[in-house]
Structure 1
Amino acid sequence: MARIKMKMNTSETTLNKAFKEFIISKTAEGLKEETIKSYNRHFITVRKYLDLELKFSELSRSDLEMMVVSMRKAGLAQNTISSYVRVMNVFLHWCSGEGYTDLTLPKVKDVETVKETYSDEELERLLRRPAADCSFCEYRSWVIINFLLNSGCRAATVRNIQNRDVSLADSRVIFRHTKNGKIQVIPLCSRMVNVLRGYMAVRGGEAEDYLFCDQYGGMLTHNALRLAIARYNRNRGVNKTGIHLFRHTFARKYLVDCGGNAFTLQKLLGHSTLAMTKRYCAIFDADIAKNFDSVSPLAQLYHPKETIKKKKKAS
């Protein structure tokens, strides 16, 4: 006979206690450290709008809905609230499996927003090669920005690349650390190969050392990378400092300026489905108006066709 697992007094457990158990459970499952940190950050904010010392026996759907209402009154953006609700529902789903509650929150629909990107003028400033006597940190930041515009990858992926992952001979790099956990092989353009060849000669290190390391050769922390890029950008007169903006910029330029297609972009960005890639296509529709005459069927119909002219015989 199958053994029946019983939980006693589950309704007397508080949300706070259950969340600690949830984190232990998800850590044991092998979720990435970034995901666990994200859950913790979300829950820290949620406690401003929901009493986490409530017992499940006291928790009602109204309490959860008032949490969302309070977030709206506090002026949180729609997409920010949507993110908190998603994480809360992941937690509540786990709680349901543990026998704590069957309550869930209705999904909050994301609002489509235009992704901010770097302008071509800003990119020109950022891609200007540093002076030969610059610091290693400045040189590394310049190489990282080149790399982000070559691949469109995430900051966490950049931090985890090792020397062994780069093959200059094959013009490719392997991403072992990705959001969906799948290994990616990404091509390197000839310009990127040359930039990396020079950088790797300076960086040195063993095969398993991190490619974009700190000044002591160790792994860059998320905060160190963020601050380094922010400092580099401001020194170049660029007020935008977001690392993820390079990903949006890569997508826009690939689709609009380079004439790339959504299916290849999906592979390059590592999206599991085409849904997110389609959002990029929709967001940047306005930019497609550029040079539209060259691809407009109507413009082509009105364009006079050249006839074949018979060449005159030489007299």
Structure 2
Amino acid sequence: MEVKQKKVRKYNVGKTSSRKMRNANLDTLTGLYERFCKYKQTEGMSERTLRDYMSHFDYLMKFLEDEDISRSEMTRDLFREYISWMLYEQGLSPVTANVRIRTLRAFLRFCCKEGYIQRPIHEDLKILRTPQDLIESFTAEEVRKLLSVIDKESYAGFRNALIIQFLLDTMVRVSELVAIKRENVHLDDGFVKLEAVETKTRRARLVPLSVRTIDILQGYLKETKEFENEYLFLTYEGKPLSADSVRWSLRQIGETANITKKRVSPHTFRHTGALMYIMNGGDPFSLQKILGHSHMNMVRKYIQMTDMDVKAQHDLFSPLNRIF
């Protein structure tokens, strides 16, 4: 179908946007989607995820040329055409399209469960197959190289070196990292508490700290005490550090260290920490708890090994070692 480029409407659910929903009629797609998002709010969904949901809905409205449709027009064939449009007219990758398809499926499942539509359309909209690319992790040598180019005599350098070690040791997400408060750092017990409101799964969890990280944190806490800020990681002006600032700093460190073939990002450190945890003899079940994943299949994505990793593990744990 030929799609005219029009100005796409934006919508508001709760505090996710400054704009308002045009139609709250439950006989329309727009009205049902508003009801769906309000329902998700009652489940405790984060503002960030709700904003993503609204962004995905905007994309669907772009396909519909910004024209609302009735409940009876919400058919399997229409949404299949939407998926085809994303892939072949908009040129989205299957990975990107899947993000929007998952949101669409959740919406249609809600509509069916609540009785707004009779047919379980969501069951006919399948997640697209995507290639299982190997997620690159840093080697120990690369981590040492990254740390070696940091000027640890400056406050920013000292903090950035701590952040790298903290990300590797705790494997927290960058959004969780910048949300940590001083009161949630328990050095005597050796863990950091992540509040439920700041985690992706909306569940609080305790993340262990190694002795080495505890030692560095003690010095950092003393140095930043005079800022009198409740957050742990701060700028040199004593303001809470943002996730974007962390990402930018790590990219700069990566460029200085000439690490160009791999993305120097908080998420890469999370993958690296998970892989090294397993390579050092850690078990996947404790790793699942540290990472904060609900399902083991997500953990498997974090511990993808290269052929050389597998060879090294085989040399250590070959059954023949026990026999001979």
TM-score (norm 2): 0.78
Equivalent-residue separation in structure 1 for 2:85 and 2:306 (angstroms): 35
Task: Return the offset for 1:148.
Answer: 0.4
Task: Return the offset for 1:48.
Answer: 4.3
- The reply on whether 1:174 has 2:188 as its aligned counterpart is no
Please say if residues 149 and 253 of structure 2, whose CA atoms lie closer than 8 Å, have aligned partners that are also in contact. Answer: no
Aligned to 1:60: 75
- The reply on whether 1:197 has 2:212 as its aligned counterpart is no
Encode CA deviations 1:160-196: one digit per residue, 9 max, x unaligned.
Answer: 1111111222222112232222222222112111221
Please say if residues 25 and 31 of structure 2, whose CA atoms lie closer than 8 Å, have aligned partners that are also in contact. Answer: no
Aligned to 2:48: 34
Change in CA separation of 1:114 and 1:162 when aligned onto 2, cut-off 3 Å: same
In structure 1, give the amino acid aligned to 2:201: N
Encode CA deviations 1:242-288: one digit per residue, 9 max, x unaligned.
Answer: 221111111111112x121111111211122323224445x327322
Please say if residues 172 and 291 of structure 2, whose CA atoms lie closer than 8 Å, have aligned partners that are also in contact. Answer: yes
- The reply on whether 1:275 has 2:289 as its aligned counterpart is no
Please say if residues 173 and 270 of structure 2, whose CA atoms lie closer than 8 Å, have aligned partners that are also in contact. Answer: yes
Equivalent-residue separation in structure 2 for 1:109 and 1:59 (angstroms): 21
Change in CA separation of 1:242 and 1:130 when aligned onto 2, cut-off 3 Å: closer
- The reply on whether 1:156 has 2:175 as its aligned counterpart is yes
SS of residue matched to 1:204: helix
Aligned to 1:310: none
Equivalent-residue separation in structure 1 for 2:152 and 2:311 (angstroms): 41
Aligned to 2:101: 85
Aligned to 1:19: 33
In structure 1, give the amino acid aligned to 2:79: L
SS of residue matched to 1:290: helix
Change in CA separation of 1:133 and 1:77 when aligned onto 2, cut-off 3 Å: same
Task: Return the offset for 1:89.
Answer: 1.3
In structure 2, give the amino acid aligned to 1:155: V
Task: Return the offset for 1:45.
Answer: 3.7
Change in CA separation of 1:114 and 1:48 when aligned onto 2, cut-off 3 Å: farther
Change in CA separation of 1:130 and 1:294 when aligned onto 2, cut-off 3 Å: closer
Aligned to 1:246: 269
Please say if residues 149 and 257 of structure 2, whose CA atoms lie closer than 8 Å, have aligned partners that are also in contact. Answer: no
Task: Return the offset for 1:129.
Answer: 7.0
- The reply on whether 1:120 has 2:140 as its aligned counterpart is yes
Please say if residues 227 and 238 of structure 2, whose CA atoms lie closer than 8 Å, have aligned partners that are also in contact. Answer: no
Please say if residues 82 and 107 of structure 1, whose CA atoms lie closer than 8 Å, have aligned partners that are also in contact. Answer: no
In structure 1, give the amino acid aligned to 2:150: P
Change in CA separation of 1:261 and 1:38 when aligned onto 2, cut-off 3 Å: same
In structure 2, give the amino acid aligned to 1:159: V
Change in CA separation of 1:130 and 1:222 when aligned onto 2, cut-off 3 Å: closer
Change in CA separation of 1:110 and 1:38 when aligned onto 2, cut-off 3 Å: farther
Q: 1:260 aligns with which of 279, 282, 295?
A: 282
Equivalent-residue separation in structure 2 for 1:97 and 1:216 (angstroms): 51
SS of residue matched to 1:186: strand
- RMSD between aligned residues: 2.8
In structure 1, give the amino acid aligned to 2:68: L
Encode CA deviations 1:184-242: one digit per residue, 9 max, x unaligned.
Answer: 22221121112212211222158871101234433333333322332333233334232
Equivalent-residue separation in structure 1 for 2:77 and 2:318 (angstroms): 53
Q: 1:130 aligns with which of 141, 150, 156?
A: 150
Change in CA separation of 1:79 and 1:132 when aligned onto 2, cut-off 3 Å: closer
Equivalent-residue separation in structure 2 for 1:167 and 1:206 (angstroms): 19
Equivalent-residue separation in structure 2 for 1:202 and 1:129 (angstroms): 22
Equivalent-residue separation in structure 2 for 1:139 and 1:110 (angstroms): 43
Please say if residues 164 and 207 of structure 1, whose CA atoms lie closer than 8 Å, have aligned partners that are also in contact. Answer: no
In structure 1, give the amino acid aligned to 2:207: I
Change in CA separation of 1:35 and 1:162 when aligned onto 2, cut-off 3 Å: same
In structure 2, give the amino acid aligned to 1:90: A
Write out the 4+ residue segments of structure 1 that deviate beyond 6 Å after TM superposition: none
Q: Percent identity?
A: 29
- The reply on whether 1:232 has 2:248 as its aligned counterpart is no
